[in-house]
Structure 1
Amino acid sequence: MAGKSKGKVQVRRVYEEPAGDDGARVLVDRIWPRGLTKAKANLDEWCKQVAPSRELRTWYRHDPELFAEFGRRYRSELADPERAAAMTHLRELTQGGVLTLLTATKQPEISEAAVLAELLQQ
């Protein structure tokens, strides 16, 4: 395939110490993480436009049994123009480099960041 190569997309908790291989560090939560200073977060960006709606987040409550349905509903929300523009921006960040999607959740593997990482790697 011609053009730019896709980079690596990974998901981490924003509370973890930054790693040398993080590349661009982007927080994808709508709400700023509790108890975390901007300096300690060590972010390149806060892309809250891509976060799920308050209604979807409230319904989901990070219940592992609801993750598949959450992913389906969230993918549908990503068609919204503001979220779609944010996704385009995240795709640009993956071109040829590493993108680390950060979330405050205790279970990043069942978060919006996991859904985004999967979509960005496709």
Structure 2
Amino acid sequence: MSTKPKLNVQVRRVYEEPDHEHDGMRVLVDRVWPRGIAKADAEFDEWDKEIAPSTELRKWYGHDPQRWPEFTRRYREELATPEMREALRELRRRAGTGTLTLLTAVKDPEHGHTKVLAEELRHTR
């Protein structure tokens, strides 16, 4: 019986200074490019905007903490679609067995999609 190596997933704001020693693969997972960052100055490995919540869900949520439980439920539904399940597996594969740092521009990552996405990635095989 073989067990898959565990992927270490962490969430950071894209505006924080990179930690090249501990960040591993750095992926921006916002659908919209972060304000104030020039593409030439971006310090991440890739931009996976398709894994972010749909535009409709993002606009409905509006980062309103009162809507957090319902947002979480709806985003998990989006992540459960076959296309998103495959995108999750591919992201895990590209990150390998090291650290995957999900980057976001949201001001409150505790109530952001990256928290939900990190949980899903930890459990996706």
Q: TM-score normalised to the size of structure 1?
A: 0.90
* More displaced stretch, 5-14 vs 78-87: 78-87
Moved over 3 A (4+): none
**What is the rounded CA distance, in whole Å, between the counterparts of 2:82 and 2:71 in structure 1?**
19
Q: Find out whether 1:32 has 2:46 as its counterpart.
A: no
Alignment of 1:1-122 (within 5 A): 2-19=2-19, 20-122=21-123
Contact 1:27 1:46 in 2 (8 A): yes
Identify unmatched segments of 5+ residues in structure 2.
none
**Paired-residue identity, %:** 59
Identify unmatched segments of 5+ residues in structure 1.
none
Deviation for aligned residue 1:27 = 0.5
**What is the rounded CA distance, in whole Å, between the counterparts of 1:65 and 1:27 in structure 2?**
25
* More displaced stretch, 24-33 vs 58-67: 58-67
**What is the rounded CA distance, in whole Å, between the counterparts of 1:38 and 1:84 in structure 2?**
28
Secondary structure of 1:16's aligned partner: coil
Aligned residues: 122
**Aligned AA (1:7):** L
Secondary structure of 2:101's aligned partner: strand
Secondary structure of 1:9's aligned partner: strand
Deviation for aligned residue 1:80 = 3.3
Secondary structure of 1:83's aligned partner: helix
Deviation for aligned residue 1:50 = 0.5
Deviation for aligned residue 1:4 = 3.1
Secondary structure of 1:12's aligned partner: strand
Secondary structure of 1:99's aligned partner: strand
Secondary structure of 1:10's aligned partner: strand
Contact 1:7 1:96 in 2 (8 A): yes
Q: TM-score normalised to the size of structure 2?
A: 0.88
Deviations for 1:53-102, whole angstroms, at most 9, x for unmatched residues? 11101111111121121111001112334333321112224541000000
Deviation for aligned residue 1:34 = 0.9
